[in-house]
Amino acid sequence: ADLHPDRVRYYCERRDPDFDAKMHDVLVVYEQLSFRFCEDGALLPWEGDGPEVHVVSVDEKPGIQAVSPTGPDLRPEPGVQGGAVLRDYEYRRLGTVSLIAGIDLQDGTVEGIVRDRHRSREFVELLAALDAKYPEGHVIRLVLDNHSIHRSRETNAWLDAHPGRFEMVFTPTHGSWLNVIEGFFGKMSRQMLRGIRVGSKQELVDRIGRYLEEVNADAVPHRWSWDIDPPGDGGEDAA
């Protein structure tokens, strides 16, 4: 038999019976958001009948490793083409941190906190930061996955104490790819986390904070190429 056990491809089974309906709800949020922008990409003033709505994509990036070098990096020699930084293959693990963040899909700014763990109390801490960020009376619509901390007793108690302030739109199970912040986390990993070496865990926390400051200084909205109609009904595939 022409078998290749070394070749493995993965797929994601749709275990959520309401996958399509929940995906539709998320895409409706993105579609409504697209109406807030004019043809040149500028954000239009709010003209709705009710309170202004801010759409924020929220998630956690756990297990960011603080790795310390055992020896100094060696720079390439001047004039050598194709030179590379030489790095000792050994390293020391200093622990991990978690980034809990939300990206505003209107202006691209990111609100984030870095903590040792990502429990309900840390998620509530992010909610409090978002509550302080936006004007009183506005609605904060969160797009987020089904992590237990998003539905916990502690989280619900905090939300109940702030009635009408937050709206939760959950992605379907195994559908976190519908959450725009996943793309931001991927970009962050490529730009500043890949190959990073630090002298302490606090240095890693500080550098993540500085990265978020630089992102917010020149924020760019992250867009979703939404499509509610299935292929063949005149729409394009979601991107």
Distances (CA, A) of 172 to 64, 105, 232: 25, 20, 23
pLDDT in tens, the chain (239 residues): 788 989 999 887 778 889 889 999 999 999 999 888 888 888 888 887 889 999 999 999 999 999 998 888 888 888 776 778 888 889 999 999 999 999 999 999 999 999 999 999 999 999 999 999 999 999 999 999 999 999 999 999 999 999 999 999 999 988 888 999 999 999 999 999 998 999 999 999 999 999 999 999 999 887 776 666 655 554 444 43
DSSP E strands in 41-191: the ranges are 53-69, 91-104, 110-115, 139-144, 166-170
Place of tokens 């063949």: 232
- DSSP SS3 for 171: coil
Do the beta carbons of residue 85 and residue 73 sit within 8 Å? Answer: yes
pTM given for the model: 0.86
